[in-house]
Amino acid sequence: MTVRRNVDVLTAGEALAALRSTGPVRLAHQLGLSVAGAELNVAIGLVRLGHSARWCGVLGEDQFGSLVLRTLRAEGVDVSAVRRMAAPTGIIVFEPLAAGVTRVDYHRSASAGSHLRATDLLAAYQPRPRILHVTGITPALGADPASAIRETVEVAHTEGVIVCLDVNHRSRLWSTEQARQTLGELVSYVDIVVASDDELTLLTPPEHDTEQAQVDWLRARGVEQVVVKRGARGASAYVAGEAAAHQPARKVIAVDTVGAGDAFVAGYLSGVLDTLDTRQRLLRAVTVAGFAVSTIGDWAGLPTREELALLDAEPGSALR
């Protein structure tokens, strides 16, 4: 029997082997190898900020699966809830194009990650965490992952665990209609919704066509915090009993925006765990996101708690 420790945050999803090209793949440019996955990124970000996190998922019995496990262990993420099976670990390919645009190509059909079951996640849930973090990516992988997310979210809500949903819509995984139906069923069990300003429509009826109307609709169904990511324009938070809070983005030189949203979520949940007020939570969120976009890779540049203040240093400073 596996004995698991208490953790601050439990998250679940698909981890992928990440291949990053130095140029067009068709021209045989070199590929760097790492790992990626929205929930994996959040878990690593939280641990670097001094919190504990458990990642639940299914990996292949292949070398890519071993790479994911080794990476998560090295970063201090609890992997006691990982299951391995005779199916391939998914692959994601990042290909830089002109004008700083990155093309993303997925190889995840019938991957191990798509075999996540409710039994996996419900077992990982014990002992219960302080926060359960899920995304709209995992239920898009298939019926079993969708059921795993739904059942665990319902249990967490019943037991008073904070549930955070990052919409994180992937149009290549499912249609807008499928996303709206599946994610809409989760809303009444969620405490924190994180979405880009064009994703709120996936959670609310079409007649609610303004951000404030969408926020009001979500709040009426029990969502305590609606957090809207606006990229280079910063972020906003609508919290029950408070005036709306807005936070500009940190001024950095952006070199890679992949993973910025996950970094933002890690920073925001870190603020929740530290009982910061709304504006401080937003500031930490955009700060962690600032680190993410100013370095290459999904999670490599995520800061430790001690490094958070580095974005306040003058550009070109040398720390001696």
Domain presence at residue 318: no
Q: Note whether 157 and 189 are within 8 A (CB).
A: yes
Domain that holds residue 56: 9-14+37-89+113-310
Distance separating alpha carbons of residues 297 and 256, to the nearest angstrom = 7
Whole-number Å distance between alpha carbons of 15 and 302: 18
- Contact assessment for residue 21 and residue 95, using Cβ atoms and an 8 Å cutoff: yes
Residue 108 lies in a domain: no
Higher pLDDT, 299 or 28: 299
Is residue 4 in a domain?
A: no
Q: What strands lie across the sheet with 102-107, from one edge to the other? A: 31-36, 16-21, 91-96, 102-107
Q: State the catalytic residues.
A: 262
| Structural domain includes residue 22 | no
**Mind listing the pLDDT tens digit for each residue in 160-173?**
999 999 999 998 88
Return the CATH number at 269.
3.40.1190.20
Q: Phi, psi at residue 160, to the nearest 5°?
A: 80, 15
Alpha helices in the chain (DSSP H): 38-48, 63-74, 118-124, 143-158, 176-184, 211-220, 260-273, 278-293
Is the entire prediction scored with pTM above 0.85? yes
How does DSSP classify residue 95? E
What lies within 8 Å, CB to CB, of 71 at 6+ separation is: 34, 35
Residue 105 is assigned to a structural domain of this protein: no
Residue 104 lies in a domain: no
∠113-64-300 over CA atoms, to 5°? Answer: 95
pLDDT at 1: 54
Q: Is residue 102 part of a domain?
A: no
pLDDT at 298: 86
For the stretch 247-298, pLDDT in tens is 999 999 888 888 899 999 999 999 999 999 999 999 999 999 999 999 888 8
> Is residue 96 included in any domain, yes or no?
no
Percent of the chain residues past pLDDT 90, beyond the cut: 79
pLDDT in tens, 193-220: 999 989 999 999 989 989 999 999 999 9
Total count of domains within the chain: 1
Of 128-132, 138-142, 239-243, 312-316, the least confident: 312-316
Do 41 and 135 touch, CB atoms closer than 8 A? no
From CA 200, how far away is CA 180, in angstroms rounded?
10
- Note the pLDDT of residue 317: 63
